[in-house]
Each structure stands twice: as C-alpha cells, then as structure tokens.
C-alpha cells in the first residue's frame, strides 16, 4: 500500500501535467489545489452503536487566467481523463467571464517554495472497535455523573488523515500531510420542569494527545446538571465574562471586520483603522501559523503564499488587515497570506483563571452559550441570545437562561478588562475567558 508521501508526489505529477495542459490552451496563468482525506467516524447513543462510517473524499479545483478573465472548475474524480476535462472546462469558462484587473495569482515574491514541516501528520490505524469503545466510555462516564442525567445526545469519535497540494504556473508545487482526531459527548439533564443539554469534546492532531474519554463524558454530564434550575433575570447593565469556549467568537467578529472582502466593499466598522487603537490597551493578538501540531497551522495559504507570524493587534492597536491577493489588489496593498483564513490566533492572557476573574468582576454574568446571529459587521451592532451563570460577590449564584446580551463591537473591544489564563486551544482562535466591563443584559 502506498504511503501518504508517495500519494503526494503522484498528485504533484498530476498537477504538473494539468498545468502544462492549461498553458497549451493559451492561458496566461493557472493554479490548482487538491485535497484528499480518508478516515473513520463512529457514534453511539445509550450504549448502542448508531453509526460506523468509513469515508474517503478528494477534490480538485483549478482557476485559469486569460487577459484578466478568470475561469474556474472543480472535480472529485482525480483520474487523468477527468482532470483533462476539468482543465478544459475552466479554460472555456475564462473566454466568457468579465475582465478584472485584480484577478490572478498571488505575487511571485510571496510564494512559499520550501514549506517547513509543522508536525501536522500523526497516522493512527483506525478500527471501528477502538472508536466505538471510546464513544461508549465517554457516554457511560457522563451518564454515571448524576441520577439527574436523563438521557444521552450521543457520543462520537472521528479520525482522518489526508493532504493538501497546491501548484501554479510559476512552477510552485507544494504539499503536506495532515491528521486530526476528535471525541465528543452530549448529555441531557432533567429537573422538575426542565431539561438542559451540554456537551464536551477533545481534538488533536495526534491521537495519543486526546483527553481521556471518561473525563470528556464526566465534564459533559456535570455541565448539563449545572444548568438545571436556570432563572431569568431582569434587564440590567452589568459586567460580562465570555467563558473561553465562547470568547473565541468575539475575535471571529474581528476577523470578519478586518478581512479584505469586507474592507474593499466598505462594509466594515473597522474601515481605515490601521495603526489605530481598536481594542483595550491590554489586548495583544499574535498569529503563529507555524505552531507545531497547531489545528490551524499551515506553511502556506490557499494561494501558495507564505504564512507569516505577526502581531495582528499590539496593545490594542490594529497592525494589519487580513488579505488574500484579490482583496490586496483592490486595496492597493500586499497579500498577508490569509487566503483561506487565519492561523492560530493567540490572545495574550492578562488575568488569572475563570474563578479569579469572577472575583474581579464581583457581580455580573458568565456567558457559556451563545445563540443567534445578531452581529452586524458593517456598523458593529451586537445582540445575541445567551445562557450562563449569574455571579454576585465573586461567586456563581445560579444558572441563567433566556437572556440577550447587546452592545456595539467597538465599545465591547475597547472595554475588555482582560483575558484569562484558561486558554482554549481547540480552535483557530486560542483565548482564555474575556471580561467585558459592561454590556446590556436583556431579561424580563
């Protein structure tokens, strides 16, 4: 059986041939990206196996450029005939699209020609029994937490390995393998007149680095029980702590606001804010695309551009926008290597753990769950449904549900008191809990 590096080399040869074919059709430039992954997913509920699925997915996308016109096509069939048809389709489309002077490959001096090894690939033989046992163990541990756990929402294990390969007519053809494993568990607690659900998960590039299934299940069960007997509260202005797992959403709105698409369309509340203070002076956000084993690590972006470590925000001051080549040209700027998204944002901690943050807050709400999409990146207005816990005298008093938290992102960002040391590493934004000086909490 071929190993993954052999597969990558074979794909590189296919990309080289497809690019040669595109050039034979008279295009001025072209780029091709191929991703492939294979893996296993299993789920169990109430001790019974619900699903076992082996999957293998692959996709190729090609874009060609001819006299400022762009044509794109894709296929999931990676046979030679299918590749040739896809290349021809993209070239045909490029004859009919509108001219756009900003379309084209990323600038040649931005290309990553010798990508570093970021230790993203840790293969593990995946057999259904292993995944089933892990899912069942997580669920069983959660169900045993309390007699108030009335039901299970199920537990799931998933694992895959795959690779990315990118090439263009500059001569760049690069790729790397990846792996990812995860385990999750959801449980339902029942009180006198209510039911509450919560879940927990673990994810890592390396199978051996996953948390123990029993810990995952136990935390899910305890979290569900803690939500019982939730109260409504009266509308109030008060401090708010976004617990770490939801705090990342705050910074995802910053990602949207400083992304090239929002900026060149002039649909961002952070337009023309480079070298301006946009967050509290205690906030620094470092991006590290080369973090070893990082879940959002990559040596190059989806255009083949180098990814670069940088401070996106320093002491509250915005240092850079997030630009792919098209948006960069629209704005008369250079690409920042962000085609396809961000890479391991690290929000520097300035406070202690959640318990110490609650003591600092004194009175207010800890938000553990957000609902709805009431965020307007054009003007910064923010309003979302929320649930969590009410704090007085620095201690949690009772769970809270059916409230709305509201404000404007400009004010929210400027009123960040600090970020906690309880950093959640499970996403592309790595942050601890975030304390906001004041927000409007809409209740009864």
CA 382 to chain centre: 20
CA distances from 71 to 67, 88, 92, 124 (A): 11, 10, 7, 39
Indicate the helix (H) or strand (E) that contains 55.
strand 48-66
Domain final position from 203, 226, 249: 226
pLDDT in tens, 260-306: 999 999 999 999 999 999 999 999 999 999 999 999 999 999 999 99
Token code pair at residue 304? 């083949």
Residue 344: predicted pLDDT: 97
Nearest by Cα to 366 from 310, 436, 423: 436
Residue 309: predicted pLDDT: 97
Residue 193: predicted pLDDT: 84
Same domain, 361 and 280: yes
Same domain, 426 and 280: yes
Would you give the DSSP letter of residue 108? G
- CA 123/CA 187 separation, integer angstroms: 30
Mean pLDDT of 422-442: 96
Token code pair at residue 75? 């296929």
- CA 239/CA 434 separation, integer angstroms: 11
- The mean pLDDT of the chain is 96
Task: Give the CATH number of the domain where residue 149 resides.
Answer: 3.30.2290.10
CA distances from 276 to 78, 416, 431 (A): 48, 16, 22
Residue 325: predicted pLDDT: 96
Same domain, 201 and 269: no
pLDDT in tens, 19-35: 999 999 999 999 999 99
CA distances from 375 to 1, 122, 167, 278, 364 (A): 49, 38, 37, 17, 22
Same domain, 200 and 264: no
Mean pLDDT of 374-388: 96
Same domain, 205 and 332: no
List the strands of the sheet with 29-45, edge to edge.
69-75, 48-66, 29-45, 149-168, 173-190, 195-204
**Would you say residue 1 has pLDDT above 70?**
no
Alpha helices in 100-145 (DSSP H): 128-143
Using a pLDDT cut of 90, give the percent of the chain over it: 95
Indicate the helix (H) or strand (E) that contains 328.
helix 325-330
* Whether the Cβ atoms of residue 387 and residue 400 lie closer than 8 Å to each other: yes
- CA 340/CA 323 separation, integer angstroms: 10
Place of tokens 């123990």: 212
What region, left, alpha or beta, does residue 119 occupy, with left being phi > 0 and alpha being psi -120 to 50 degrees? left
Residue 444: predicted pLDDT: 82
Same domain, 336 and 240: yes
Domain final position from 189, 206, 226: 226
Same domain, 218 and 236: no
Same domain, 184 and 286: no
Indicate the helix (H) or strand (E) that contains 197.
strand 195-204
Mean pLDDT of 8-19: 94
Place of tokens 């259904």: 128
Measured from the Cβ of residue 169, the count of other Cβ atoms closer than 10 Å reads 18
The whole-model pTM stands at 0.93
- CA 34/CA 123 separation, integer angstroms: 20
Same domain, 309 and 380: yes
What domain count does the chain have? 2
Phi/psi of residue 94, nearest 5 degrees: -65, -15
- CA 385/CA 368 separation, integer angstroms: 11
Residue 195: predicted pLDDT: 93
Would you give the DSSP letter of residue 111? B
- Which is it for strands 236-242 and 364-371: parallel, antiparallel or unpaired? parallel
Nearest by Cα to 268 from 254, 257, 278: 257
Token code pair at residue 230? 């939730």
List the strands of the sheet with 285-287, edge to edge.
317-318, 310-314, 285-287, 345-347, 429-430
Mean pLDDT of 66-72: 94
Burial group, residue 49, by CB count within 10 angstroms (0-12, 13-18, 19+): middle
Same domain, 216 and 264: no
Mean pLDDT of 348-364: 97
Same domain, 65 and 13: yes
Residue 80: predicted pLDDT: 86
* Whether the Cβ atoms of residue 83 and residue 76 lie closer than 8 Å to each other: no
Angle at alpha carbon of residue 354, lines to 351 and 360, rounded to 5°:
60
Indicate the helix (H) or strand (E) that contains 176.
strand 173-190
Same domain, 23 and 169: yes
Range of the domain at 380: 230-444
Residue 58: predicted pLDDT: 86
Q: What confidence category does residue 63 fall into, taking pLDDT thresholds of 50, 70 and 90?
A: very high
Residue 2: predicted pLDDT: 64
Residue 340: predicted pLDDT: 94
Domain final position from 192, 226, 260: 226
């Amino acid at each position: 059986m071929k190993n993954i590096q052999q597969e990558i080399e074979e794909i590189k040869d296919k990309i080289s041939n497809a690019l040669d074919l595109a050039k034979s059709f008279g295009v001025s430039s072209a780029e091709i990206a191929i991703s492939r992954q294979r893996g296993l997913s299993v789920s169990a509920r109430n001790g019974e196996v619900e699903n076992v699925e082996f999957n293998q997915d692959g996709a190729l996308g090609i874009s060609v450029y001819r006299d400022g016109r762009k044509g794109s096509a894709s296929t999931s069939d990676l046979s030679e005939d299918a590749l040739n048809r896809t290349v021809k389709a993209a070239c045909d489309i490029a004859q009919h699209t509108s001219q756009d002077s900003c379309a084209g490959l990323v600038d040649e001096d931005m290309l990553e020609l010798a990508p570093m090894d970021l230790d993203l690939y840790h293969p593990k033989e995946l057999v259904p029994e292993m995944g089933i046992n892990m899912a069942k163990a997580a669920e069983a541990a959660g169900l045993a937490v309390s007699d108030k756990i009335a039901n299970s929402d199920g537990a799931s294990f998933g694992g895959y390995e795959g690779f990315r390969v990118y090439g263009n007519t500059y001569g760049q053809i690069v790729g790397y393998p990846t792996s990812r494993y995860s385990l999750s568990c959801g449980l339902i607690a029942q009180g006198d007149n209510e039911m509450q659900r919560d879940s927990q998960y673990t994810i890592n590039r390396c199978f051996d680095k996953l948390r123990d299934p029993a810990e995952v299940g136990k935390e899910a069960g305890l979290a569900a029980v803690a939500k019982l007997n939730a109260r409504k509260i009266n509308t109030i202005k008060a401090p708010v702590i976004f617990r770490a797992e939801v705090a990342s959403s705050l910074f995802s709105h910053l990602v949207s606001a400083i992304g090239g698409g929002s900026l060149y369309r002039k649909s961002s509340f952070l337009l023309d804010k480079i070298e301006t203070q946009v967050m509290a002076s205690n906030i620094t956000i470092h991006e590290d695309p080369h973090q070893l084993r990082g879940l959002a690590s990559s040596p190059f972006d989806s255009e083949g551009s180098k990814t670069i470590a940088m401070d996106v925000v320093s002491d509250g001051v915005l240092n850079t926008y997030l630009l792919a080549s098209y948006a960069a040209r629209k704005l008369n700027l250079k690409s920042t290597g962000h085609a396809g998204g961000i890479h391991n944002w690290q929000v520097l901690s300035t406070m202690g753990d959640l318990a110490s943050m609650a003591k600092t807050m004194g009175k207010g709400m800890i938000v553990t769950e957000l609902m709805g999409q009431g965020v307007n990146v054009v003007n910064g207005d923010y309003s979302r449904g929320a649930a969590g816990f009410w704090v007085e005298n620095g201690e949690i008093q009772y769970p809270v549900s059916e409230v709305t938290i509201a404000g404007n992102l400009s004010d929210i960002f400027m009123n960040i008191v600090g970020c906690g040391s309880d950093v959640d590493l499970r996403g592309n934004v790595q942050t601890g809990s975030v304390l906001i000086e004041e927000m409007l909490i809409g209740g009864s």
